[in-house]
Amino acid sequence: MATKAVAGKKGIKARTHGDLWEFVIKLDKEHPDLGLAHDFYDANHLRSNFYEDELRPEAVPMGAQAVRAFVKKMGQL
């Protein structure tokens, strides 16, 4: 939701997951110091784990930490 909110503020419609990735990569190039693409990758892996149950339970808090960091960084934009 944070990604779609920032995209919407910039007048960009991100309807598909590919659109979201394209937008995050663009932001990552504009703000390389924030590491947005890396955090988005981690968040996406955590999201896919919801459906696939591939992560060990010990890894889930690491993904949650990446999501919190990503949302905080997106809030700065």
Domains of the chain by residue range? 2-76
Q: Is 50 exposed, middle or buried (0-12, 13-18, 19+ CB in 10 A)?
A: exposed
Sorting pLDDT into bands at 50, 70 and 90, what band is 65? confident
Q: Which of 33, 51, 47 is nearest to 2 (CA)?
A: 47
| Lookup: tokens for 33 | 């110091």
Query: pLDDT tens digits, residue range 4-35?
Result: 999 999 999 989 989 999 999 999 999 999 99
Its pTM stands at: 0.81
